Amino acid sequence: MEFGFNSNFFYYFEKNYHTNNGDKMKILITGAGSNIGFETGIKLGKLNHLVYLTVHHDYEVDTVLEKVKELKLDNNIKCFKLDITNESDRKKIRKLDIDCLINNAAIGVGGSMLEIPIDLMKENFEVNVFSTLRLTQIYLGHLFANNKKGKVIFTSSIAGIIPISFLGSYCATKASLITIATVLKREIKLLTNNIQVKLIEPGIYNTGFNDIMLENKLERKSSYFDDLESISLKQKKLFELMGHDDLDSITKKVVEAVLDNSNKFLYRAPLLQVIMTKLYMLFFK
């Protein structure tokens, strides 16, 4: 046992995986207890890849495993706790020899740029940007040290391209991820062709993630306060109107990014919001 982590379990799983599945991929997804991360993992498991659905908290593990068992995917899908902000949790991935890391975990902090407490913004960057990059560096370090092929996928957002008022912190983290993924891809290309970097930019999906972010700014005092409630309500309505309930379009894109070994870098969905983003970039950038 190292880092408080049961390595025997993974040794057993790895051994069986190799003998039974030949060249199938091993994929690790962060923040995969629900929604986009979870559903992507299910799709990949159904394609007979070996998937590590990792979750923020210990208490999520059993629920995820029950769902996986109901779907009869427990041979292909495993679950364990990986809080990406926790150093010893991050180190767990060294043992797993994964072929693809999907950085999906994130939080959203709302609030005006004028007033947002910097500590909250730091927390937003700590999860979405710094911890994501730290985990990625561990994974890439393992690939380089062992001269292995691999792939790293970052989940940004169209909010990283189109900034939204009162959600500036979240938008800034997602814009940072676009820059980080772009630069990382170029830098890695100078060293090897064996490692791919890909970027996902989902549009709005009604997973509850946005609601939390739209609401948490109201918990704090603000000079916008009276206006802020009505702004939040309007934003919520707009998000609901534009948002998709069905995650199929975006999870298909993530699966495509995992399986696609071409040089394609950017994967976006849903279509209408992709068109809107392109129009925005044409006229406003």
Ligand X SMILES: NC(=O)c1ccc[n+]([C@@H]2O[C@H](COP(=O)([O-])OP(=O)(O)OC[C@H]3O[C@@H](n4cnc5c(N)ncnc54)[C@H](OP(=O)(O)O)[C@@H]3O)[C@@H](O)[C@H]2O)c1
Catalytic residues: 170
CB of 71 or CB of 191, closer to ligand X? 71
Question: Which residues are CB-contacts of 31 (< 8 A; sequence separation ≥ 6)?
Answer: 37, 54, 55, 56, 84, 104, 105, 106
Count residues contacting ligand X (CB under 6 A)? Answer: 26
Q: State which residue, 18 or 134, has the beta carbon closest to ligand X.
A: 134
Read out DSSP for the chain? -BTTB-HHHHHHHHHHHHHHHTT--EEEESS-SSHHHHHHHHHHHHTT-EEEEEESSTTHHHHHHHHHHHTT-TTTEEEEE--TT-HHHHHGGGGG--SEEEE-------B-TTT--HHHHHHHHIIIIIIHHHHHHHHHHHHHHTT--EEEEEE--GGGTS--TTBHHHHHHHHHHHHHHHHHHHHHHTT-SSEEEEEEEE--B-SSHHHHHHHHGGGS--TTHHHHHHHHHHHHHHHHHH-BS--HHHHHHHHHHHH--SS--EEEE-HHHHHHHHHHHHHH-
Which of the residues 186 through 205 are near ligand X (CB under 6 A)?
202, 204-205
CB of 275 to ligand X, least distance (A): 16
Closer to ligand X by Cβ: residue 34 or 112: 34
Residues 213-272 that bind ligand X (CB under 6 A): none
Between 129 and 204, whose beta carbon lies closer to ligand X? 204
Measured from each CB, the residue nearest to ligand X is 31
Binding string, residues 4-43; x marks residues near ligand X by CB under 6 A: --------------------------xx-xxxxx------
**If binding is defined by CB under 6 A, does position 110 make contact with ligand X?**
no
Minimum CB–partner distance for residue 221 and ligand X (Å): 25
Residues 41, 77: contact at Cβ < 8 Å? yes
Structure tokens at 208: 């509850």
> Closest separation between CB of residue 3 and ligand X, Å?
15
Q: Which of 207, 232, 235, 273 binds ligand X (CB under 6 A)?
A: 207
Which residues inside 76-105 make contact with ligand X, applying CB under 6 A? 83-85, 104-105
Binding test (CB under 6 A) with ligand X, winner from 157, 169, 222, 273: 157
Q: Which of 92, 88, 17, 4 is nearest to 48 (CA)?
A: 17
CB nearer to ligand X: give 124 or 222: 124
Given the rule CB under 6 A, which of 56-64, 140-148, 215-223, 228-236 is the region that contacts ligand X? 56-64
Minimum Å gap between C-beta 114 and ligand X is: 23
63, 133 contact by CB (below 8 A): no
Query: Considering the complex, what minimum distance in angstroms separates the CB of residue 56 from ligand X?
Result: 4
Q: Which is nearer to ligand X, 33 or 45 (CB)?
A: 33
Binding site for ligand X (CB under 6 A): 30-31, 33-37, 56-57, 60, 83-85, 104-107, 127, 155, 157, 202, 204-205, 207, 209-210
